[in-house]
Amino acid sequence: MGTTSDGDAAPVHAVVMPGMTLRDWFAGMAMGGMLRFTPRELKTWQELDEWAQSHCVAHLAYRLADEMMQERDEKETA
């Protein structure tokens, strides 16, 4: 990982895509982690159809991204 001039870590392999916000990037990273460890063995998870599972993961990913953005903003203003 490289660093920016203010010392924050920044991935060297970062790809900038038009239209993608930091919130989108956070959500995508959170979603990738969630999909790796989805508790498919839980009966309640299996009872959901594919759309509901996808919606649940996407919704939670953006909730996590929002929390990360809020934490980031609080640290910047402190």
| Per-residue pLDDT tens digits for 20-73 | 899 999 999 998 887 776 555 555 666 778 888 788 889 999 999 999 999 999
CA dihedral sign of residues 13, 33, 7, 22: positive
What amino acid occupies position 69? M
Per-residue pLDDT band at 1 (split at 50, 70, 90): very low
Distance in angstroms (rounded) separating the CA atoms of residues 49 and 30: 21
What residues are paired with 3 via a beta bridge?
9
pTM reported for the whole predicted model: 0.61
Render pLDDT for 16-28 as a digit per residue (tens, 0 to 9).
667 889 999 999 9
Cα angle 61, 36, 41; round to 5? 100
